[in-house]
Amino acid sequence: MFSDPFREEEGFGFFNIFGDTPIFIKIVFIIVILGIVTIITAGIVIGLRRYLSNNAAELLTRNTKVVDKRSKVSGGARESSASTYYYITFEFEDGSRVELPIRSDRFGMIVVGDRGELTYQGTRFKNFERRLSS
Mean pLDDT of 75-102: 93
- 27 vs 45: CA distance, rounded Å: 27
pTM higher than 0.75, yes or no? no
Better pLDDT: 26 or 97: 97
Better pLDDT: 74 or 21: 74
Percent over 70 (pLDDT), the chain: 85
- pLDDT surpassing 60 at residue 83: yes
Sign of CA dihedral 96, 99, 105, 108: positive
CA-closest candidate to residue 63, choices 113, 112, 116? 116
pLDDT recorded at residue 22 = 84
Q: With contact defined as beta carbons under 8 Å apart, do 53 and 122 qualify?
A: yes
At 11-35, the pLDDT tens digits run 555 566 667 778 888 899 899 999 9
CA 37 distance to own-chain centroid: 17
1 confidence band (pLDDT: 50, 70, 90): low
Decide: helix, strand or coil at residue 4. coil
